[in-house]
């Protein structure tokens, strides 16, 4: 997992829950990195999982809800860092349909070692999209947060329903309907 995902996460934790909680979750976790991340480095996903688990225990907020809120913050990082990539699109359904064949293809050029999910478009109309998310990291709620913000970016909203295909969340169907 790329360092930018860690650095932005830890910034958000400090911002929302304070330095003490940030310190606690780092100390409680068994981190090869020692909890020191650079945005261009690459670190084990298991480190993120431990940080999330400990934060969830401290706050009583589920890992899915933490990932959802984090993704909504991460979208603004993407907007700032990759304005050109986002400017290619003028519709949220078009943009979400293009993650697999365009957006994450470009991400892979910037970060060859990025660990990305796959998104398979099952059905697409002007105002709806059915897409299947697959990833061993089961970060579907991170995807949900990014999708919510994608609609907001285009001054729109959507109703998004998740259906787990696999119980462990490594395969999830997203049913997206523009409001
Ligand atoms: C992960 C970039 C848009 C879904 C990532 C990562 C980067 C990235 C850098 C981390 C990879 C790693 O840690 O190794 C971008 C950029 C985007 C974009 C630059 C747009 C300009 C989206 C959108 C979605 C999405 C709109 C909506 C569903 C995900 C998910 C992950 C991810 C779910 C977590 C990894 C996993 O589930 O396996 N993306 N992304 N991305 N991205 Fe994107």
Q: What is the mean pLDDT of residues 44-67?
A: 97
Share above pLDDT 70 across residues of the chain, in percent, rounded to a whole number = 100
Q: Which residues have C-beta atoms less than 6 Å from ligand 1?
A: 1-2, 5, 78, 82, 85-86, 96, 99, 103-104, 107, 111, 114-117, 135, 137, 139, 142-143, 146-147, 150
pLDDT in tens, 41-55: 999 999 999 999 999
Mean pLDDT (the chain, rounded)? 97
Determine the pLDDT at residue 98.
Answer: 98
Determine the pLDDT at residue 40.
Answer: 86
ipTM at complex level: 0.92
For residue 133, list its beta bridge partners.
Answer: 119, 172
pLDDT in tens, 147-178: 999 999 999 999 999 999 999 999 999 999 99
Sign of CA dihedral 13, 15, 21, 23: positive
Write the burial class of residue 80 (CB in 10 Å: 0-12 exposed, 13-18 middle, 19+ buried). Answer: exposed
Q: For residue 82, what pLDDT band results from cuts at 50, 70 and 90?
A: very high
Given the structure tokens 């909680």, which residue do they identify?
A: 21
Mutation probe of ligand 1 site: the residue of 143, 148, 154, 166 with most atoms within 8 A of C-beta: 143
Q: How far apart are CA 179 and CA 177, in angstroms?
A: 6
Asked if residues 151 and 92 have their Cβ atoms less than 8 Å apart, the reply is yes
In 3D space, the residue among 128, 8, 131, 129 whose CA is nearest the CA of residue 73 turns out to be 8
For residue 16, the SS3 value is helix
Buried b / exposed e over 118-153, threshold 16 CB at 10 Å, is: ebebeeeeeeebbbebebeebbbbbbbbbbbbbbeb
pLDDT in tens, 97-109: 999 999 999 999 9
Q: For residue 127, what pLDDT band results from cuts at 50, 70 and 90?
A: very high
DSSP state of 169: S
Determine the pLDDT at residue 160.
Answer: 98
Q: How far apart are CA 146 and CA 144, in angstroms?
A: 5
């Amino acid at each position: 997992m790329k360092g930018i995902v860690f650095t932005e996460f830890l910034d958000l934790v400090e911002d929302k829950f304070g330095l003490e909680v940030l310190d606690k979750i780092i100390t409680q976790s068994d981190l090869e990195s020692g909890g020191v991340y650079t945005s261009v480095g690459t670190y084990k996903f298991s480190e993120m999982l431990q940080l999330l688990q400990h934060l969830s225990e401290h706050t009583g907020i589920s890992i899915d809800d933490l990932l959802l809120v984090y993704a909504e913050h991460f979208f603004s990082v993407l907007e700032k860092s990759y304005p050109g990539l986002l400017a290619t699109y003028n519709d949220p359904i078009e943009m979400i349909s293009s993650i697999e064949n365009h957006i994450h293809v470009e991400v892979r050029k910037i970060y060859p070692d990025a660990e990305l999910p796959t998104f398979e478009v099952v059905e697409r109309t002007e105002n709806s999209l059915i897409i299947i998310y697959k990833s061993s990291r089961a970060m579907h709620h991170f995807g949900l947060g990014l999708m919510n913000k994608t609609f907001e970016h285009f001054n729109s909203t959507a109703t998004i329903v998740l259906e787990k295909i696999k119980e462990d969340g490594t395969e999830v169907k997203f049913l997206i309907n523009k409001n």
